[in-house]
Amino acid sequence: MSHPHPELGPPPLLPEGALRIVALGGLGEIGRNMAVFEFDGRLLIVDCGVLFPEPEQPGVDLILPDFDYIRDRLDDVEAVVLTHAHEDHIGAVPYLLRERRDIPVVGSRLTLALIEAKLTEHRIQPVKVEVAEEQRHRFGPFDCEFLAVNHSIPDALAVAIRTPAGIVLHTGDFRMDQLPSDGRLTDLGGFARLGREGVDLLMSDSTNAEVPGFVTSEREIAPVIDEVVRTATKRVIVASFASHIHRVQQVVDSAERHGRKVALIGRSMVRNMGVARDLGYLKVPPGLIVDSKEIEGWPPEDVVLICTGSQGEPMAALSRMANRDHPIRIAEGDTVLLASSLVPGNETAVTRVINGLTRWGARVVHKGNAKVHVSGHAAAGELLYVLNLTRPSNFMPVHGEWRHLRAHAKLAALTGVPDDHIVIAEDGVVVDLIDGRARISGAVQAGYVYVDGTSVGDVTDFALKDRRILGEEGFISVVVVVDSNTGKLTAGPEIHARGSGIDPDRFDEVIPQVERALQDNAADGVVDIQQIRRVVRRTVGRWVSDTYRRRPMIIPVVVEV
């Protein structure tokens, strides 16, 4: 198995007739999926998603792929192909189209409808190319065939990319539910046909590669949801992904059976379900859904609320309800249903939300105590099935953390893919398909780009480090006035602290130390402001560390007179 090396340099020029693949996100992480294919000087992008921030990234709203690799070559991009409409696959499209608005956006009917609704908020009108399973479309040198795959959102697609370098099958996110609620099966026959034709490189979803067997059918969840709604004595509040149309349909069906009205909470939930309803993917009886502003007037036993926040996102509706920061007030006897799986890394945030809801008297039903969700990603048995159907010459696991990628690589080896034809890459690693063989040939920049409010890319890792220090240790400001000619102290030091937990009276101990340090500095003839700042920061920082074993941010303010 080939794998990245920390000292990989820039890749060489792509040989004629070869195909280059560079993942700018989605490898070694859950989210931010984006792969760039290059052939004969032209580019094709598959997916362009976001990653959601973790607690150690305070103030960050979204994390984007780094477009630097393609920024100077945007005119070479033939299209961006979207496998399905989850945020980790489409969320960064508005930011890509800001850089070139006429890049064709390719996807299924529902995918395009949901991305268009999102782009409307960014005041972008996309160039759309609607595709469907069993269709083939050419984008420059890339001949793309689309295949139906079953996932936790309707209309998901896999894409087979044909070039003279060979056939690459990109599965997108998929599972092999044999009884899907919408009747749309993963096209295993199409996978087998491609296998007979010869798949030169298989890029396959790795999210559940560590999970043995096959995923549970979506249909097994409906009775559990129905039982929760039937036995609830007051309001039922269901938290789900804003794009999980199948799950919302199950909740709507159960609410109708038990005579409850439904209200949708959260902008993305209202937007997505409105699109799904208009296109016929969500079937709602007339009069069942009511405006969220009217719901407080209904008896609690006649109400079901469907909201966002199943992953503990701090600004989502459910988290705000748990924190008593939402118009919907959790009351004793309410039932809250977390109808989604737990994305790795969100465990602490979700536990915090569950505790907050329980504090106000809610009964919380979640995957840990009831079968209320099935994964949208194929488990190991299904991944083996696809490997055996397609019999790829080369294999590259995608869409997963390191443990998922390595587990998937082991499955490929079990099915007979030679170890030296299995490529485990990470974001930015360049993989070239040359003469039927996939190899790592270098690496390009593929770091995080942070979105903070309207700012894109202005927040750096250094800024996040400062935010973490401020949040965990607080800060201390030290104001000194010095003579601009001699560097001698003329006033101060004046010390103020916020969030450091230090008694202000204790600063009397360090003030003489700062005075002595500045006196020595002036005696050495130092008048440079930056040097004076360093002396003040070092002196106060050492005292705080020795006295309190803490490392707050020290902010020296030097005024010259």
Please check if 3 is assigned to a binding site. Answer: no
Q: Supply the DSSP symbol for 174.
A: -
The three-point CA angle 68-74-80 to 5° equals: 100
Q: Supply the DSSP symbol for 31.
A: S
Please check if 61 is assigned to a binding site. Answer: yes
| Strand-pair partners of 239 | 307, 338
Closest to 137 measured CA to CA, from 116, 106, 112, 113: 106
CA 303 distance to own-chain centroid: 32
Please check if 86 is assigned to a binding site. Answer: yes
> Which class for 116: exposed (0-12), middle (13-18), buried (19 or more C-beta within 10 A)?
middle
Please check if 40 is assigned to a binding site. Answer: no
Closest to 91 measured CA to CA, from 31, 63, 49: 49
Please check if 243 is assigned to a binding site. Answer: yes
Q: Residue 273: CB partners within 8 Å, gap ≥ 6?
A: 242, 245, 248, 264, 282, 306
> How far apart, in whole angstroms, are the C-alpha atoms of residue 44 and residue 21?
10
Closest to 315 measured CA to CA, from 52, 48, 37: 52
Please check if 151 is assigned to a binding site. Answer: yes
Q: Residue 116: CB partners within 8 Å, gap ≥ 6?
A: 126, 128
> How far apart, in whole angstroms, are the C-alpha atoms of residue 366 and residue 358?
12
Please check if 242 is assigned to a binding site. Answer: yes
Q: Supply the DSSP symbol for 105.
A: E
Please check if 140 is assigned to a binding site. Answer: no
> How far apart, in whole angstroms, are the C-alpha atoms of residue 102 and residue 73?
14
Please check if 381 is assigned to a binding site. Answer: no
Q: Supply the DSSP symbol for 399.
A: S
> Which class for 128: exposed (0-12), middle (13-18), buried (19 or more C-beta within 10 A)?
middle
Closest to 87 measured CA to CA, from 27, 30, 22, 147: 30
Map residue 137 onto helix, strand or coil.
strand
**Active-site annotation, residues:** 205, 377
Helices (H), 172-263: 188-197, 221-231, 245-257
CA 373 distance to own-chain centroid: 20
Please check if 89 is assigned to a binding site. Answer: yes
Map residue 148 onto helix, strand or coil.
strand
Q: Please give the full DSSP string across 483-528, using - where no structure is assigned.
A: -TTT--EEEEEEEEEESS---GGGGGGTHHHHHHHHHHHHHTT---
Please check if 375 is assigned to a binding site. Answer: yes
Q: Do 142 and 131 touch, CB atoms closer than 8 A?
A: no
Please check if 31 is assigned to a binding site. Answer: no
Please check if 258 is assigned to a binding site. Answer: no
Please check if 455 is assigned to a binding site. Answer: no
Q: Which residues are documented as binding site for Zn(2+)?
A: 84, 86, 88-89, 151, 173, 399
Q: Which residues are documented as binding site for substrate?
A: 242-244, 373-377
Q: Which residues are documented as binding site?
A: 59, 61, 84, 86, 88-89, 151, 173, 242-244, 373-377, 399, 452
Q: Which residues are documented as binding site for Ca(2+)?
A: 59, 61, 452
